[in-house]
Each structure stands twice: as C-alpha cells, then as structure tokens.
Structure 1
Amino acid sequence: MNFGNQTPTIVVLKEGTDASQGKGQIISNINACVAIQEALKPTLGPLGSDILIVNSNKKTTISNDGATILKLLDVVHPAARTLVDISRAQDAEVGDGTTSVTILAGELMKEAKPFLEEGISSHVIMKGYRRAVELATAKIQEICVDISNNDQDNRKLLERCAKTAMTSKLIYKNADFFVKMCVDAVLSLDKDDLDDKLIGMKKIPGGSMEESLFINGVAFKKTFSYAGFEQQPKKFKNPKILSLNVELELKAEKDNAEVRVENVEDYQAIVDAEWQLIMDKLKQIESTGANIVLSKLPIGDLATQFFADRNIFCAGRVASDDLERAVLAVGGSIQSSTTDIKEEHLGTCQVFEEIQIGSERYNLFQGCPKAKTCTLLLRGGAEQVIAEVERSLHDAIMIVKRALQNKLIVAGGGAVEMEVSRYLRNYSKTIAGKQQLIINAFAKALEVIPRQLCENAGLDAVELLNKLRMAHSKGEKWYGVDFETESVGDNFAKFVWEPALVKINALNSATEAANLILSVDETITNKESQPANAGMAPPAGAGRGRGLSMQ
C-alpha cells in the first residue's frame, strides 16, 4: 500500500500507558512531596506530637521518628518515595535528623514552585540550590566548634549531645537516666570501629521505663529447656564458657536413615552406637572443664540431664547474633566439633547468672574481659512504649557515636539554620540575576525548622522569628528557640548541642532530593497488565507505580 507522503503512526508504548510531562508534572510531584512534609511537620521538636499508625494487620505503632513514620506509611506516589529514601539514608548515616531532612526537602520544593509557575527553568533553580548548599555547608564547617580540646570531661560533652537528641522523644522526661545508659553503651564498644550493631537491645514488657538495665556484657532470654534443666546451677563466678555449633540431641534412627536388620541384636547394636556417639561428645565437653555450654543447635534432654548431674549449665538454640556477641564479650571461639577443644577456645566472665526480669528469665554474662559489646534491657508498660524507647535510644546512641568520632558540634533549636539563612541572604545581595532570588529562597526555606519548632510548641512563630533574625544580624550566631523561657536564647550556652555532621548531612540530602524531583519533567506509568491465565504473575516491569522517569 502506498502511503504517499504520509508518515505511518508508530506505537511505542502499550495502549493505556499513562504519560504526563512538562511544568505541570513537576508541580504535581512537588505537591505530593509537600503532602508528605505536612504529615511530618507536627512531629518536629521537643513539643512535637506523635503519630499513631495502624497497618493492614491492625498492628499499631506510636512514634515521632521521621524514618519510622515514613517507613510505615504506604507511599505510592513515585516522586514522594524520594523523601522516604532520604529519611532512611539520614537514619542509617547519622541516626537523627530524619524529620528535619524531610521537612527541609519539602520546603525547598515549595519555595521552587513559584519560580516554576513564572516560567523559570528547573535547571536554573537546581543550579542556584547547588550553589546555596555549598555555601551553607562551608558556613556550618566555619562556625562549628571543635570540642576535642575542651577542658571539660569528655563524657559530659557526649551526655549533652545525647540529651539534645532525646528532647523530642518519649523518653525526655527520663532523659538523665537514659543519657547515662546511651553514653555507657557507646563507650563500652571498641574505640576503633564503634560498631553500634554490637549494642543489643531486648524488650521486656512490664515495669516502668526506669527499671531498664544496662548490662556491660551480654544478656539473652532463657532458651528452650528440657527436663533436668532446673537441677543445673544458675550462678557462677569466673566460669569457663564453651560456645558450640553442635547438636547434642539423641535422634530416633528413623529420622536419620533407613537401616535393614535381620535380628534384634543388630538393632540393639545400632541403638548402642547412637548412645555411644552422643555420650562420647558429652564426655569430651566435660573433660574441657567448661562450666557453661552454649550452642546454636538444640541440646536435648539426655545432654541436659548429663550436664545437670555434673553441675554444668547449658543453653541450646541460642540465637546466632546473641551467641556471636557473647563470644566477642567472653572470648574463645565457636566450635563446630567437640574433639580437640583447647583451653584458648573457652571464654570467661566475672559473673554469670540467670535472673527473673518481669515475666521472663534472662541469662546475664557480666564483667567480661573482652567486653566490646553491651546489652540494654528495656522495660515499659506497653509494647508500643518499649518500641518507641528503643527507637529513641537508637537515635541518641548514633548521635553519641558521631560526636565521639567527629568532635565538631553546633547549637540546636533552629540556631544553626537561622545563622546559615542570614549568611545566604547577605550573600544573595552581592550577586545579580535569577540566582539572587533562588539563593534567597533557599535561605527562606531554612527558616522552616525554627518556625515549625515554635508552632509545635504553641509559641508565636512570627514574633520569635523576628527576634531571631534581629539577634543573628547582631552577631548572636547561637541564638535559637528556647522552650524553657518560651522565647529565644543562646542554645550553645544552654548545652543544646548537635554534631555538625547531622546538619551537613541533612542539608545535602534535602537539596539532592529537591533537585532530583525538579529534574524529572516526565513520568510514564505502565498500564497494569492482566495475566493471560489466572494465577500467573504479571510480566516484569508491569504494575501500577512502576514507571520510567526521564529528564
């Protein structure tokens, strides 16, 4: 067929594919991110409220931790998911500031929206934001205070940073109790790598929050026990501890293999051989002189009774991470065979005991010679309360860790944001063109943190922001919102301290997220495919929300 000069229609995308592009698409993405920001705003700061989230299984979570809330919200908008990602990244990298980074990113997008509506290219805005964040980061590095040479006790400095991290948390009323626990936990780790994964947290419902315990060593819940367990001693001083990855259980022959026998004597010989094998293993363990035997695999009733008769304590089916932390604390190594166990393979500690905590029994290893690990036993009235205590302590522990590694700090309570905002405003007056407006917009966006702190506390945000602007223009660089006097004050002098790393990371992450959203001007969403046969999975790449975003 001759088409003449007509160009044939070429179908590239499947019928029903949704494609939207242009300025309207960018503004739509910004609106989605601002909706996420609005949801998180009320949780910021010491007087921020908590959010109750109920998932599809009717499980409730009460939290004001930004990363936790965003993780539990089922965000389907592809652009808004960017905020979820930066919040998680902030949580993993620094541990705190997860709400701040999301609010900042949302505010940067909100400030960019009028420029887009006036026809300014998104690339011009992105260029201005990149320049602004470079200047902001340099300013924070310039004004931050190095506390490594401070005459004060190093521990006090860490406690102040931990207390600031707890101001917005559920545990703030018990801050003095938990601050000590956090600092003890971080200082008990190896000073070279400060691996926070070696801080174990166990949640025990019941009791008050201040009944929580810090164990300088390892604690884990009593494992499954067989008959004979109660006859074992439950307390030792300076015991020898053997850690195994060996099953000490007498198994029925039918579970292991099929054996054909012609007479009863042959069958009895097989049973005797089974008994002999496990008895040999138990005697080899006894000959090591170990007082405590721990194993990842089951320790059966025969072995339990054998150990009880010889005043040896045993625990089988110990969780893998608990056993590994125990070995790091007490020394020795995990053995996968009972033959050739030497003295150096055994660990020790000053005191081992099994105690009752709430409704559970716990095995405690304290006074460990190689203690590079610790355990926090958290108590509380309800499971949701304990879960929020755990999240709060995680944030505070990460802050103490960062403060120990990087001894550069700034004042919190919106002080550093106001100082950087003032600096960027003054800088914007020295340049001409559109960049002046964009850098000024970045400076205005930073004020969202002190403004939201005031609003959440029920204070007059307009009045306090004016006071802060005046104070910073006079050189009071550490002036921020003071919740005690419901006014403004020098937050550095009041020890409202945060690691500079938290602020730098939050600013960079928020700007990257804003620029990423601004750079996407087309979204293509594949139509959800219907499988040809019921029960078949749709082809890869199909599904609502899966899409291609291109610049």
Structure 2
Amino acid sequence: MASMMQPQIILLKEGTDTSQGRAQVVSNINACTSVADMVRTTLGPRGMDKLIHDDKGGTTISNDGATIMRLLEIVHPAAKILVDIAKSQDSEVGDGTTTVVLLAAEFLKEAKPYIEDGVHPHSLIRSYRTAGHLAIEKVKELATSIEGKSLEEKKSLLAKCAATTLSSKLIGGEKEFFASMVVDAVLAISNDDRLNLLGIKKVPGGTMRDSFLVNGVAFKKTFSYAGFEQQPKKFLSPKILLLNIELELKSEKENAEIRLSDPLQYQSIVDAEWNIIYDKLDKCVKSGAKIVLSRLAIGDLATQYFADRDIFCAGRVAEEDLQRVAAATGGTVQTSVNNVIDEVLGSCEVFEERQVGNERFNIFSGCPSGQTATIVLRGGADQFIEEAERSLHDAIMIVRRALKNSTVVPGGGAIDMEISKYLRQHARTIAGKSQFFVNSFAKALEVCPFLCCEITKLHFILNCYVSFGVVDGWMLSTRP
C-alpha cells in the first residue's frame, strides 16, 4: 500500500524570516556592526553627543551608550543583544556601556571573514573563550590594589577613577570639581549597597560650579497650606517625627453611614471629627518633635496648628525622600501617632530651609547615621542637567565598584593594548587555526584605543612636530 504524504502545516506568522545557516550568521553580524556604528563616535574624551528625538516629542542629548541604546528602536533580534549587554554593563558597573557594545561588535566583525570562509562558529567560540580567560588573568596580574592604603591615598585614587569617567562626558570641563564631590558622596554611604541613599536633585539655573553636596538629605519644598510661612525655617538638634498618615480634617461620610433620630445629634458627629484631628495633632506635639514629615497630606488646620507651636511640617513628601530621611536621622516611619516614643524619632544637627535658585530646599545635615548624601545639581538647560545627572551616575557607580573590588587598571585604552600585545605573543605558541582566531580577538581589543587616537591624531602629530622643533606651538591653535 502506498504511504500517503501528510500535508505540511506551517504555524508561523506571515512574513516570518526562516533563513538559516552561514548567510543568516553573516546577516546577524552586519546588523550588530550597524548598531555599533551609531555609538562609535561617542567614545573617548573627544566623543560627540547624540541628539535623539522620540515619537512622543521628547529630546535627549547624550553620549552615554546605555541611554542611546535604550532610546534606539532596534527590532533586529541579534542587534537587540547589544542593547541587553549595554543595560547589563550599566547596571553592574555603571560606565563603559559604549565600550562593551563596540567590543562585542568588533569581535563579530573580526569573526565574519572566517564565517564566510566556512569556519564553524564553534571553533571560533572555543578560541575566543580561551583568549577571554587569558585576558582576564592578565588583567588581574596588572591590576593595582587600593587595599591597605591611607584614606587620603584612597580618596586620591578614587577621584582619578571618577575623573576618568567624567572626562568623556558633557561635564568633563569640571571633572576635578565633580570627582571629589562624587568620592565624598560615595564614602558617606560607606558600604551600604542601597544606591537610593545617594540622591541627586536637579535645580535649573546657575553654573555647574554652583552645585553642592549635602552630607545628609535635601529635597524640594513640598506643597504647603496657609500658615506654612509662619513656621520656623531653621532648627538646631531637632527631633524628627516621620509619618505615613493624613493630618487633615476629613468628613467620614465616605467611610461610614450614620443614621440619626434627632438633628441635634449631628453636632456631636462634627465635634467628634474635630476632636479626632486635634487629638492627633496634640500627640504629635507631645512627642517632642520639632519637625513633622508625612508621606500623605498635612492640611491647613494642622499646618497652622504646628506653626502656632513653632513646629515645622511638610506633607506629601516623596517616598524615596522620606526613606532617606529615616535612614539618615535614625527615625522610623510611623503609621499611627499613638504611643510615639523617643526611639522612633530621628535627629540631626541642623535643619534649614534654603533658597536654591528658584526653588526652596529642606536640608537635613549632620545626621547621626552619616549614611546618606545628596548632590544638588545646577546648570542651564534641562537637557544639560539631565545629561549631567547621567554622567554623575556613571561616576558614582565606578567609585562604588572600585571600593567594592579594591583593584583598578589604567584607562585610556592602555590596558586594551597591553592585553592585545599579550594575546598576540601567546598566539605564536599555538598551532593550527586557533592562532588566527586568537589574533583576531587581540585585534578586536584595539578598537577603543584606535577610535580615541583617530579623533585626536592630528593634534598628536602636531604635538610631535612641536617636540622636534619642526613647527611652532602657535600652530596648535589652528587644529580642527
């Protein structure tokens, strides 16, 4: 009996690409290379910024690799991997997001000729993995440890790490100023892994040099009711009460149904509502706190009540800021004003409300825990301040990573060239095709130094001419 052929059923969406084999691998490599070309010119101290405009009308100016990769609408599945490694680098290390994208694309670019010649990808991957292990061991050998150094030596080295990160950013002109600020901020939170203990507040206006560091917590003045201006704006060694309740006179009609047999009983209901709010406010005053902060609203009645008793209050404080105040002052957020004891109250040396540009900030300094810090960032346009914040985030992450790992290596492409040289020498000891593959790996490591040199090669050549007396120094001012 003749066997009957079953019809083939394709359960794929119309237009699905089912190509495979060598051609598809080459296509994936080309896609990754195209993505890398978009961020290639952002690398290095003389790298250029990218202006990205999205469909919602937002505009972003940045040379941060992770930011650019996130904003690009990449649909190619292989190219999306570059987006993922940039995000991973940003989350784990903070800086070097452009570098990892360029390195990954360059490894693929160097492998492309071998794929086209019929080399199996597994052979390439095996050699690349071996070369990667050798490179890691060599990096560990060349690394410098900051363990055992004095605090001043450690701060100096950490400042150099932060300055290296900031040198390629928009605020690179003020890298020494911000590098020392970043080091002080990171050391303030010590070994705590919670990055949210370090806040960055942006205030338009002024120059970058007007930025300052608060060894404590600072947040923008919240929405306030009548009577707020009558409250004191500065305290020395105050007690701080942190709440997560509303201090407002509210009718209970939404929460309960009350049936009255006598209209005169309605007044007793109104009196009860007033007694409830006054009882809450009286307990806050009796706690001894001079500053009352709440995540929920503090109404006009409570604001005036506290003002009459020389107490400062702020309602609708952001959750992040309230938690940072709790961590800094040693206080605990309360969900009730009953039985408020001294142990749940926070404290600080100085509290003041200060004018910063067109904004007013509540600043807590001299906090007992000393594990929080806030950078108040000044600048011109919003785009500029946003990029400055991203730059400082990278520097903060690098300093935290250097403190955690306690080893550093030279930057500026120096370590890349040293590893490349080491792998090229090692490749000569390998027999067979692996020698070519390891050499390709070594050549790919040179992409970052090459790009940095390519941008500044004319300046470098003129400097050489000046050194040898071929041209006068004034000619350097004519460089493009």
The residue matched to 1:19 in structure 2 has which SS?
coil
How far 1:177 moved relative to its partner?
1.1
Partner in structure 2 of residue 370 of structure 1: 369
Residue identity in the other structure for 1:273: A
Letter in 1 for 2:18: A
Equivalent position of 1:533 in the other structure? none
Cα 1:208–1:15, aligned 2, differ >3 Å: closer, same or farther?
closer
SS of the residue 2:128 aligns to? helix
Indicate conservation of the 8 Å contact 1:235/1:354, yes or no. Answer: yes
Q: What secondary structure does 1:419 align onto?
A: helix
Equivalent runs, 1:222-371 vs 2, <5 Å: 222-371=221-370
1:499-523 per-position Cα deviation (integer Å, ceiling 9, x unaligned):
xxxxxxxxxxxxxxxxxxxxxxxxx
What is the deviation of 1:228? 1.1
**Map of 1:116 onto structure 2:** 115
What is the CA–CA distance in structure 1 between the aligned matches of 2:228 and 2:242, rounded to whole Å? 18
**What displacement does 1:186 show?**
0.5
Structure 2 equivalent of residue 44 of structure 1: 43
Which digits, 9 at most, give the CA deviation of each residue in 1:336-382, with x for residues without a partner?
Answer: 11110111111111111111111111100011111201111111101
Q: Kindly state the Cα deviation for residue 197 of structure 1 after the two structures are TM-superposed.
A: 2.2
SS in 1 for 2:56: coil
Q: Is the 8 A contact 2:89 2:95 kept in 1?
A: yes
Contact persistence 2:61–2:383 (CA under 8 A): yes
Distance 2:343 2:68 in 1: 47
Q: Distance in 2 between matches of 1:360 and 1:256?
A: 38
Task: Give the whole-Å Cα distance in 2 for the aligned partners of 1:402 and 1:238.
Answer: 35
Name the counterpart of 1:127: 126
1:186·1:196 contact (CA, 8 Å) conserved in 2?
no
Match of 1:399 in 2: 398
Q: Distance in 1 between matches of 2:204 and 2:129?
A: 48
Distance in 2 (CA, whole Å) between partners of 1:150 and 1:220 is 35
- Contact 2:196/2:320 (CA < 8 Å) preserved in 1? no
Q: 1:15 to 1:97 in 2, by over 3 A?
A: closer
The aligned counterpart of 2:83 is: 84
Partner of 1:186: 186
Q: Distance in 2 between matches of 1:187 and 1:33?
A: 39
| Residue equivalent to 2:409 | 410
The separation in 2 between residues aligned to 1:225 and 1:150, in whole angstroms, is 49
CA contact (8 A) 1:186 1:194 kept: no
TM-score where L is the length of structure 1 = 0.81
Task: Please give the per-residue CA displacement for 1:82-105, whole angstroms capped at 9, x wherever unaligned.
Answer: 000001101111111111000000
Aligned residues: 461
Q: Match of 1:307, as an amino acid?
A: F
Q: AA paired with 2:94?
A: G
2:238 and 2:371 map into 1 onto residues whose CA distance is 19
Counterpart amino acid of residue 388 in structure 1: E
Note the C-alpha offset of 1:148: 2.3
Q: Which residue of 1 aligns with 2:157?
A: 157
Q: Which amino acid is 2:243 matched to?
A: L
RMSD: 1.7
Contact preservation (8 Å) 1:203, 1:379: yes
Partners in 2 of 1:401 and 1:165 — Cα distance? Answer: 13
* TM-aligned CA distance change 1:269 to 1:488, over 3 Å: farther
Aligned residue for 2:323, secondary structure, equals helix
Q: For 2:83 and 2:457, how far apart are their aligned partners in 1? A: 28
Q: Distance in 2 between matches of 1:15 and 1:256?
A: 53
Where in structure 1 are there 5+ consecutive unaligned residues?
461-485, 490-551
1:4 and 1:43, CA in 2 relative to 1: closer, same or farther beyond 3 A? same
Secondary structure in structure 2 of the residue aligned to 1:340: coil
The aligned residue for residue 7 of structure 1 is 5
Alpha-carbon distance between aligned partners in 2 of 1:404 and 1:15, rounded to the nearest angstrom: 51
Counterpart contact for 1:36–1:80, Cα < 8 Å:
yes
Amino acid at match of 1:168: S
Displacement of 1:144: 1.4
1:433 aligns with 2:432: yes
Q: Distance in 2 between matches of 1:258 and 1:448?
A: 74
- Find out whether 1:388 has 2:384 as its counterpart: no
Paired position in structure 2 for 1:95: 94
8 Å contact 2:198–2:374 — kept in the other structure?
yes
Shift of 1:458: 4.7
The SS at the match of 2:171 is helix
Other structure's SS at 2:371 match: coil
Whether the aligned pair in 2 keeps the contact of 1:297 and 1:318 (CA below 8 Å) is: yes
Q: Which amino acid aligns with 1:91?
A: D
Cα deviation 1:410-453 (Å, max 9, x = unaligned)? 11111111111111111111111111111110011111111111
Give yes or no for contact 1:67–1:99 (8 Å, CA) kept in 2: yes
The one-character-per-residue Cα deviations of 1:122-141 (angstroms, maximum 9, x if unpaired) are: 11111111111011111111
Task: Compute the TM-score of the two structures, normalised by the length of structure 2.
Answer: 0.93
Equivalent position amino acid for 2:397 in 1? M
CA distance in structure 1 between the partners assigned to 2:143 and 2:54 by the alignment: 42
Identical counterparts, % of pairs: 55
Which residue is equivalent to 2:173?
A: 173
Q: Secondary structure at the match of 2:19?
A: strand
Report the Cα distance in structure 1 between the residues aligned to 2:85 and 2:70, rounded to whole angstroms.
11
Distance 2:56 2:205 in 1: 24
Contact 2:284 2:337 in 1 (8 A): yes
